[in-house]
């Protein structure tokens, strides 16, 4: 059972916009910044957003992030087949004194 809760799957048609939610608590998301990672099948994860909403160099601006209270969201606009992957949120948990990941969300392009 992950400390951060994500939906198991979301899907959308090409060019649509999808969002992935990440729900936590005051000891993690509520007090620390959130990162998002993309993991394509058979590959290592890669960073797509940090500090809630900042894009690393080289990451498409179709990705965006937000945070409100103890929840965070990743949005992918203009959905493309290359976006099919698992997405994980991550943050620091002050109570556990550990970096914690969400359970992951599989994004499928229909």
Which one, 15 or 51, has the nearer CB to other proteins? 51
Residues 23, 68 contacting (CB under 8 angstroms): no
Q: Which residues contact 44 (CB under 8 A, 6 or more apart)?
A: none
SS3 21: strand
Residues 79-108 that bind other proteins (CB under 8 A): 88, 90, 92, 96-104
Among 54, 68, 78, 80, binds other proteins (CB under 8 A): 54
Instruction: Identify which of residues 16 and 98 has a Cβ nearer to other proteins in the complex.
Output: 98
Cβ neighbours for 33, distance < 8 A, ≥ 6 positions apart = 50, 51, 52, 67, 91
Min dist. Cβ of residue 57 to other proteins (A): 10
**Backbone φ, ψ for residue 39 (5° rounding):** -130, 105
Is 59 an interacting residue with respect to other proteins (CB under 8 A)? no
Binding site for other proteins (CB under 8 A): 2, 33, 35, 37, 39, 44-47, 50-51, 54, 56, 88, 90, 92, 96-104
């Amino acid at each position: 059972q992950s400390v951060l809760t994500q939906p198991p799957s979301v899907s959308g048609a090409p060019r649509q916009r999808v969002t992935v939610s990440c729900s936590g608590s005051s000891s993690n998301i509520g007090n620390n910044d959130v990162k998002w990672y993309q993991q394509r099948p058979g590959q290592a994860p890669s960073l797509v957003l940090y500090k809630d909403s900042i894009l690393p160099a080289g990451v498409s601006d179709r990705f965006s992030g937000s945070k409100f209270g103890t929840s965070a969201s990743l949005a992918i606009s203009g959905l493309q087949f290359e976006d099919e992957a698992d997405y994980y949120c991550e943050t620091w948990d002050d109570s556990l004194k550990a970096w914690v990941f969400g359970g992951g969300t599989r994004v499928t392009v229909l």
